[in-house]
Structure 1
């Protein structure tokens, strides 16, 4: 057993990939590969991604951001925080079935959302997460004057975690961080299409970030101003979708993004693109991202965006 383990570790180190947890003593985040407070709980927040909901508040401080397909070919964000918490985050929107499967790999995180369809109530109640809503933590949420519902709900992350209680700290969700891999294709811009929605990504060599361009427009800037929002690494994860039992108020079916199994992927980092495949046998398992050589593709330390792009 020890010999087998030694061989696996040797292969990983030889590929220039270092596990985000190895030798960290809990001081390196498995979500970003950077130093982080030991034992800080994980908070996930559903954030609106419609033109009316932008600019975002607090998303720039997330460790990981998932872009998920929702009704009508549009998308929402699932922003995951642990290393640092912004003063506010929003606009906060409703939970989806896809969130439950994505977050199962995190252990027992807190999930903040505005509400959910009645059909999802049982799934959320039985999931390994701590739900936080205006109904369970009214003092953690506020309505912002000057904005119309449903894009006027914002939350205080510290108050959300205080109301949640017992949320688990980060654990290995499959990301591996390390030096820039050899090979890859030089890429300065990517347009990623989700049905009727589009997300642009432009490499900024000065900032060392992929700048996020919602709707294919200008780079996103926080509602409070400052640097454009970006990621050190972007994982473009091709997923199958199936109709869920949930419909929105207009009757549109909510898609469920299948994040277990396996599929094609692309890793964007350091101005280059690397072909890959992702695999995840079960919801509680990490997502493994391997290159054509069947070795892990190293992510650049820093915030990660995961784009759950429907196949076809």
Structure 2
């Protein structure tokens, strides 16, 4: 095993052990996370080795640069969002009361502003473990989840750790008005190489598939609809029956949509009303549906461990390519 890989492997083993110990003691509550001009700032919130012996260890292979992941509010009062169209990957996950939340991953470019930013969930830690030391921007978490975030192999930058990075906008009510300036937490965009380990590869479409004009995915209290636009070569997103656009009027229009069927179980966390925080398991295997080029492909997904990317394959085991452009992954209950 290469030294860089060994270091990451050990870090993840330690994190996994800490996770198991901490979860055994958990019992508490968290806060429910419950438009249209670009948000304006009114005030900032607070700012955010031992080298191996050259005689005994080979020169480490350079690792992929870190990505920026941002937790994005997705209830009605939080829409439209800002900077979501610039993300390379958008994950949609279920949270308390059957609502949805987004995690946007930025690698190839950083927008000027992203938001509204909301709190993290346990699902995010497993999702992000496939990236090399990602930066996670979020606005807090259930108090007993915070130690797990601190132990996770990522760089956490909530408002209290990055005082110049966040501000409150004037066009939405709190708590749906917290925005991030990405250039205050990242020197530059990581680049496409940072996505290589995730298994999201671009290239020609698989053979077969079936023509489809629209696909809807339902959570208990949220709904995503993807409608194919042949003119634009993109899937137009609607959320809860309304076309999804950014604050500057741009359609949310990914080139590829993945409906990934996963186990959604109860976690050890609850909100202050007693609603359980769902945990979407992204390590394992199962079925998925890939939408690209106006067609739907039934595929399999596999992710043996948290520090590995997800492989999407056809029935005969061939890797599935995605179309060039933004990818949405909806974590739907299997």
TM-score by length of 1: 0.83
Kindly indicate whether the alpha-carbon contact (under 8 Å) linking 1:191 and 1:216 is maintained by their aligned counterparts in 2.
Answer: no
User: Aligned residue for 2:202?
Assistant: 177
Gaps of 5+ in 2: 1-62
1:222 is the counterpart of 2:246:
yes
Residue aligning to 2:87? 62
Q: 1:55 to 1:269 in 2, by over 3 A?
A: same
Cα RMSD (Å) of the superposition?
1.8
Q: Is the 8 A contact 2:92 2:329 kept in 1?
A: yes
Deviations 1:109-163 (A, max 9, x none): 1000000111111211111110011110021000111321110100101112259
Q: Secondary structure at the match of 1:77?
A: strand
Give me the whole-angstrom Cα distance separating, in 1, the residues matched to 2:148 and 2:194.
22
Do 1:265 and 1:276's aligned partners in 2 also have CA atoms closer than 8 Å?
yes
Report the structure number with the largest CA radius of gyration. Answer: 2
- The structure richer in strand per residue is 1
Provide the residue aligned with 2:22 in structure 1.
none
* Structure 1 residues not aligned, in runs of 5+: 1-37
> Is 1:237 matched with 2:260?
yes
Distance 1:138 1:149 in 2: 18
- Asked whether the equivalents of residues 107 and 171 of structure 1 are also in contact (C-alpha less than 8 Å), the reply is no
Aligned to 2:278: 255
Matched, 1:266 2:309: no
Summarize deviations over 1:242-268 as a string: whole Å, max 9, x none.
Answer: 111211232211001000111110000
Q: Distance in 2 between matches of 1:92 and 1:222?
A: 14
SS of equivalent residue, structure 1 residue 161: coil
State whether structure 2 residue 233 is matched by structure 1 residue 190.
no
- Residue of structure 2 in register with 1:137 after alignment: 162
Give 1:139-158 correspondences, 5 Å limit.
139-158=164-183
* Matched position secondary structure for 2:145: helix
Report the CA distance shift for 1:40/1:261 in structure 2 as closer, same or farther (over 3 A).
Answer: closer
Aligned counterpart, 1:94: 119
Between the aligned partners of 2:264 and 2:79, the Cα distance in structure 1 is: 26
SS at match of 1:72: helix
8 Å CA contact retained: 2:166, 2:180: yes
In the TM superposition, residue 224 of structure 1 has moved relative to its aligned partner by: 1.5
Q: Does 1:51 align with 2:61?
A: no
After superposition, the C-alpha distances for 1:67-104 in whole angstroms (9 at most, x for unaligned) are 01100111100000011111100000000000000000
Indicate the SS of the match to 1:139: coil
- Cα distance change on mapping 1:159 and 1:281 into 2, 3 Å: same
Q: How many residues align?
A: 269
Kept in 2, the 8 Å contact 1:202–1:212? The answer is yes
Q: Deviations over 1:46-68 (max 9, x none)?
A: 00111111001000000000001
Equivalents in 1 of 2:81, 2:273: separation in Å? Answer: 25
Compute the displacement of 1:169 (Å): 4.1
CA distance in 1, matches of 2:235, 2:120: 27
- 1:109·1:169 contact (CA, 8 Å) conserved in 2? no
Question: Quick check: 2:85–2:252 contact (8 Å CA) kept in 1?
Answer: yes
The alignment status of 1:111 with 2:136, answered yes or no, reads yes
